[in-house]
Structure 1
Amino acid sequence: METINKRNQGVELSTILDYQKEFILEGKTLCADQKKAYRDILHCRTSAMGSHSLSCDSCSSVKVCYNSCRNRHCPKCQYIKQQLWVEKLRCRLLPIRYFHVVFTIPEFLRPLFYINQRFCYNILFECSAKAIKKTALNPSFLGVESGCLSVLHTWGQSLNYHPHIHMLVPAGGLDSEGMEWIHANKKFFVPIKALSAIFRGVFMERLMEGLASKQLKIPEKQKGLFEDTKSLKNRAYEKQWNVYIKKTFKGANQVVSYLGRYTHRVAISNSRILATDGQTVRFRWKDYRDGKSKVMILECSEFVRRFMQHILPSGFYKIRYYGILASTNSALKMDECFRLLKKTRLISFYQGLSTYEVLREIFGDEMFRCPCCKSGKMIFGIGEEKGEGP
């Protein structure tokens, strides 16, 4: 019996976590969600996660494969999820242009966000979507019911803590009576400064409510700021908040192609990690100030600390839909949008397929060819459709 799916020979995130496990897991620096993610990534595709077997349908040879951890923060467990989600989204999106909008928060709010992640991430989602809705509905701009697909990211290229929302917004929407689809102009349907001001206003209103009702823990070093309402408002309104438009997508296929590389990212992929000697880590990062790729060197402990900042609370949804794209509108308003655009909704290619059939479609038959007889196919043992695949 042959064993496959051992650890790669190259440097991986799990390699670095392994160097630090005695200090991290025995210490008190991680919360329960972070510890679980740490252990899952460390043990992904090893005997600690159990195994399943593949049997040749021709010569009956057997391979044992270690299961994946399926943790959403693991860089080795996102590919299948990404492919299935992208295919489902391809059938869901309207076949029109899309704007890519990014909402960020001022740096002074980051410590508050980190110790109140569930609450603060929720209002970041809520307020950015509300800002889009209010501006789209305004008859001075476009006067339509729009929607958006929002994705939360919490990191920058150097793994620093930088919560922000990436949003896809249809270039248009339904008129007030729901009888006509109105297209937006080529740039955007609202001046970006107006959108930024509205976002800042609705966000600060919601944040002040949370502070007044004592739903938020206040960072020790910022107590004076957050306990003084006037000072907090002055600090928040002294500068324009960063909301900006990135490139425009011409249609659903281009959007899906982009999202396939983007939405299921983790803080750092294994391909960006160059080397480690157990003391330091070298990894690639892109400096957006000059647009150049560079190499950063961090102590292993600092690298792990930065990575663990981006573990989300359990059960927290980092991809959300609003307005006409929301699930509650899928059966009615979206059907009406497709009708008005004179387009037909598609059905996911993977719908109704078993796990094995999905894997064959994604990886191809060669992935499952028997290494012994070269002609048979390796299939899952009875009742063993487990793990993320080979």
Structure 2
Amino acid sequence: SCRDRQCPKCQATARRQWVAAREAELLPIEYFHVVFTLPDQLIPLARYHQAVIYHLLFRAMSETLLEFGERRWQGTLGITAVLHTWGQTLVEHPHVHGIVTGGALTKVGTRWISSRRGYLFPVRALSAVFRGKYCASLERAYARGELPGGQALPMLASAESFARLLRELRRQAFVVYAKRPSGGPHQVLSYIGRYTHRVAISNQRLTDISDGQVSFTWKDYRCEGRQKVMRLTAGEFIRRFMQHVLPAEFVRIRHYGLFANGRKQVKLARCRALLAAVTTAEQLMTAARDDGKRVEPLPEEKFQRCAACGLGQMVRRAELPPGCGPPSWEVRRAA
């Protein structure tokens, strides 16, 4: 085994181990499959500045999702993201696949808040925020001198040309996909796992190499995924393949939020404990409704249960100082 991460044969064991490790970390909740794609205008920059462009892609994607989780649930969600740079015909198609938790752990770690069933965040809002964050990060990278230009990159030749590129990008829609997988999180892990430790094309897709030509199969999704055969010159095939060889030490699998390596196991254990408590309470309430009786809440939940019905959950909004009650009717009417 050569153990090179660009080898299509040597990473099968590592891929299986990665998928198994991620499955062991799954929480008993809904997960969502998200995809964040860069527009075609950035492909020339990615050819010459892979590390910078792809790092900004990871950063803008993660910051967007974490910000939405913070706004909606005042907590931290979990994200596992994998970079994928190719399409079926080996042309550049840089995008990031992600697995996102359908909910978040509150900052103080005392509650798990689940997303609405089958729904994560509005895609158009995700796209707009993602575009804004990426363009802002790209502008800062250019100001720091991380994107030198040249004859092959006229959009970086001067500040004016770069400003035109930014204006064009800010008018461009950044494609974002977010959907609950029909087969559950295991289906997404299996799908993403195919790309975690593989390169642009597998040996099984190669059908013929002769007369300086390379033939390989590809799926045409515009024709309902029909399999076709593409034939390229050896030079063009190598050129397309090499576009997807990432820089040395570039990390193509990244984890954020609850899945970030720092204290990950502690956070996941806390999430499981909270989710188990919620499941137990829901089972008791369901049994009580079936029996037509009220259920006595668990001791640690008494302070959260409604004193009137015994089923609803109380949410603390504010604390009034002693002796401070609601305004009288006369005061409210005068106001």
Q: TM-score under structure 1 normalisation?
A: 0.66
- Amino acid of the residue matched to residue 196 of structure 1? S
CA distance in 2, matches of 1:268, 1:164: 17
Alignment match, 1:171: 102
Question: How far apart in 2 are the matches of 1:238 and 1:290?
Answer: 30
Aligned to 2:76, what secondary structure does the other structure show? coil
Contact 2:33/2:179 (<8 A) preserved: yes
Q: In the aligned structure 2, how far is the partner of 1:167 from the partner of 1:268? A: 21
Q: How big is the shift at 1:150?
A: 0.4
Q: Is the 8 A contact 1:127 1:202 kept in 2?
A: yes
SS in 2 for 1:283: strand
Of the three residues 245, 253, 256, the one matched with 1:319 is 253
When residues 278 and 77 of structure 1 are mapped into structure 2, their CA distance, relative to the original with a 3 A threshold, is: farther
For 1:247 and 1:187, locate their aligned partners in 2 and report how far apart those are by CA, in whole Å.
6
What is the aligned partner in structure 2 of residue 54 from structure 1? none
Higher-Rg member (1/2): 2
Q: After superposition, where does 1:55-70 map in structure 2 within 5 Å?
A: 68-70=1-3
For the 8 Å contact 2:181–2:188, the answer to whether it is kept is no
Residue 78, structure 1, aligned to residue 11, structure 2 = yes
Change (3 A) 1:190 1:246: closer
Residue 333 in structure 1 maps to residue 267 in structure 2 = yes
In structure 2, what is the Cα distance between the partners aligned to 1:275 and 1:188?
Answer: 45
Deviation at 1:95? 3.1
Structure 1 consecutive aligned stretches of length 4 or more whose deviation exceeds 4 Å: 249-252
Return closer, same or farther for 1:252/1:156 CA change in 2, 3 Å cut-off.
closer
**1:217: which partner in 2?**
148
What do residues 193-248 of structure 1 show as CA deviations (whole Å, max 9, x unaligned)? 10011111111111100101111122524434662254223201112111112552
CA 1:222–1:256 in structure 2 vs 1: closer, same or farther (change >3 Å)? closer
**Residue 280 of structure 1: how far off its partner (Å):** 1.0
Find the aligned partners of 1:302 and 1:222 in 2 and give their Cα distance. 21
Displacement of 1:143 after TM fit?
3.9
For residue 330 of structure 1, report the CA deviation from its aligned partner.
1.1
Q: 1:271 to 1:246 in 2, by over 3 A?
A: farther
1:265 Cα deviation from its structure 2 partner: 2.7
> With CA pairs under 8 Å and 6+ residues apart, which has the higher RCO, 1 or 2?
1
Number of aligned residues: 274
* Structure 2 alignment gaps of length 5 or more: 278-335
Question: Paired residue for 1:236?
Answer: 169
After superposition, residues 55-134 of structure 1 pair within 5 angstroms as 68-134=1-67
CA contact (8 A) 1:98 1:250 kept: no
Distance in 2 separating the partners of 1:224 and 1:284: 35
Give the stretch that moved more between structures: 80-89 or 124-133.
80-89
Give the aligned partner of residue 302 of structure 2. none
2:8 & 2:89 partners in 1: Cα distance?
16
Contact map agreement 1:267 1:310 (CA 8 A) in 2: yes
- Which one is further off, 208-217 or 180-189? 180-189
Aligned residues of 1:152 and 1:319 also touching (Cα < 8 A): yes
The CA deviation at 1:188 is: 2.7
Q: Give, in whole Å, the separation in 2 of the partners of 1:249 and 1:341.
A: 22
> What SS does the aligned partner of 2:248 have?
coil
Residue 83 of structure 1, CA deviation: 1.4
Q: Does 1:273 align with 2:196?
A: no
Corresponding position: 1:264 with 2:197:
yes
- After superposition, give the CA deviation of every residue in 1:247-266 in whole Å (9 maximum; x if it has no partner): 52564444443344342231
Work out whether residues 274 and 282 of structure 1, in 8 Å CA contact, stay in contact via their aligned partners in 2: yes
Aligned pair 1:227/2:155, yes or no?
Answer: no
Residue in structure 2 matching 1:309, options 234, 243, 247: 243
| Paired residues of 2:97 and 2:192 also in contact (CA < 8 A) | no
Higher helix share: 2
Which of 59, 70, 85 in structure 2 is aligned with 1:154?
85
SS at match of 1:130: helix
| Partner Cα separation in structure 2 for residue 275 and residue 261 of structure 1 | 23
Contact map agreement 2:105 2:111 (CA 8 A) in 1: yes
**1:136/1:189 contact within 8 Å kept:** no
Aligned 8 A contact 1:96 1:251 in 2: no
TM superposition shift of 1:178: 2.1
Contact 1:97 1:248 in 2 (8 A): no
Residue 156 of structure 1, CA deviation? 0.7
Give the alignment's TM-score, normalised by structure 2.
Answer: 0.76
Cα offset for 1:281? Answer: 1.3
Q: Which residue of 1 aligns with 2:234?
A: 300
Separation in 2 of the partners of 1:324 and 1:212?
32
Residues 219 and 342 of structure 1: is their aligned pair in 2 closer, same or farther, counting only changes over 3 Å? farther
AA in 2 matched with 1:137: E
Change (3 A) 1:269 1:132: same
Q: How large is the Cα RMSD of the aligned pairs?
A: 2.0
Deviations 1:246-302 (A, max 9, x none): 552564444443344342231001111111214111111112223322111111111
